[in-house]
Amino acid sequence: MAATLALIAHDRKKDELVDFILQYQGIFARYHLIATETTAQRIQQGTNLPVEQMLSGSQGGDVQIAAQVAEGKILAVIFLIDPLFSQPHEPDIQLFQRICAVHNVPLAINISTAETIIEKLRQSRIAHLIFNPVAGHGNAEQELSLIRQLLEPHMHLRVHQTTPNESAEDLTKQAIETDPDLVIASGGDGTISAVAGMLIGTQIPLGVIPRGTANAFAVALGIPLALTPIRSACQVIINGNTRVVDAASCNQRPMILLAGIGYEAETIDKATREMKEQWGALAYLIAGWKQLNQQELFESEIEVENQVYQVTSSAAITVANAAPPTSVLAQGKGEVIFDDNKLDVTIATVQTQEEKPLINPRFRAVATMINMLGAALIKTNPELPDVYHFRTQRIKLTTNPPQKIVVDGEMIGTTPVEIECIPDALTVFVPKNNGSEKGWDRQESLS
């Protein structure tokens, strides 16, 4: 169901409508409001609530609203009529009686019937969908239509599309201010990370509808993506299963997946949008293969738990809050647990040619990554001599020379970097009975 309420009032009823909205302002604030011109102005002046302004009733504003009712964009109409003293220029209730009856949309014509609608709204769930129309390779308009078709029978859905001027963070902040029951992010990992970052600590559940190239967070949550990812993700949200997971802060920036330093950052940087549009997820493999010959080693100073360690000949460092098995460089222990209140730190080093004179470094690196991927798929410790792993709540990294950093798929600069786990920071929708025995031991249901 759409999350838009239409508001109309005859001249002698406008003050009564404003008083009614003030009485239930908390509920009205959760919905998108539209009204005829003068009514909209009076509501905004009296309540400070944002109202989309149509034409005046005399110029066809009521017809504009009726058209939206016919298009299925209106959840309910509150039209306070003056049965005794209405003027010829004022909107005619008969238009709405007919159009609302045809399309089965609730219509209130006085305060008593309006209160019935408000009581129903009080019991309903409001979901805000933050939708990135440029994510992925599909038809964004068709994908949004499918999402609405799947979700609107189960909740009142307000849709916000990102633009060059309105980021996912901005739209999520606006959504939070209306006290929603849940927020849904649809796009690539960058969009989902941006929305999740704004929800940290709010206890507002996050739904994920992946439409990107890697979709790493959705895979980490266990959302099945093989055939119909949008349908699968929507069904997970409809089922209402939620879990509380950790998040992290990386140089004061929210992080839900991982930070890659060195090889992974260089690989992500080389995987251009043009490559991803042409090759999809294979773009990362192509970029990664090229980077194997170009990756320079670096020295690292690592500070954890008030201890400082020096590591020479590092090729990649990954600090993960969550990661799917395909995030190979995060799999130092074969599994990343993201509700254990710790970060998984994996350091990949390269032994010198004197130590391994008969093995090409490129093929040794490939073999190491294959072993790590296999360990991740079966959740076992790969025990590789070139790979070191530990878990910590906080880490500070300095490298020589400085290295690029990628966080949740987005380049953010170069080292030094400081990353800290934020325990139990985020509530997410997941498939039922998902997760490992070590983590995921807390489960809730959103009714």
**Which H, E and C letters describe the chain, residue by residue?**
CECEEEEEECHHHHHHHHHHHHHCHHHHCCCEEEECHHHHHHHHHHHCCCCEECCCHHHCHHHHHHHHHHCCCCCEEEEECCCCCCCCCCCCHHHHHHHHHHHCCCEECCHHHHHHHHHHHHCCCEEEEEECCCCCCCCHHHHHHHHHHHHCCCCEEEEEECCCCCCHHHHHHHHHCCCCCEEEEEECHHHHHHHHHHHCCCCCCEEEEECCCCCHHHHHHCCCCCCCHHHHHHHHHHHCEEEEEEEEEECCEEECCEEEEEHHHHHHHHCCHHHHHHHCCHHHHHHHHHHHHHCCCEEEEEEECCEEEEEEEEEEEEEECCCCCCCHHHCCCCCCCCCCCCEEEEEEECCCCCCCCCCCHHHHHHHHHHHHHHHHHHCCCCCCCCEEEEEECEEEEEEECCCEEEECCEEEEECCEEEEEEEEEEEEECCCCCCCCCCCCCCEECC
Instruction: Mark whether 62 is an active-site residue.
Output: yes
Query: One of 62, 339, 344, 408 is an active-site residue; which one?
Result: 62
Give catalytic residues, as residue numbers: 62
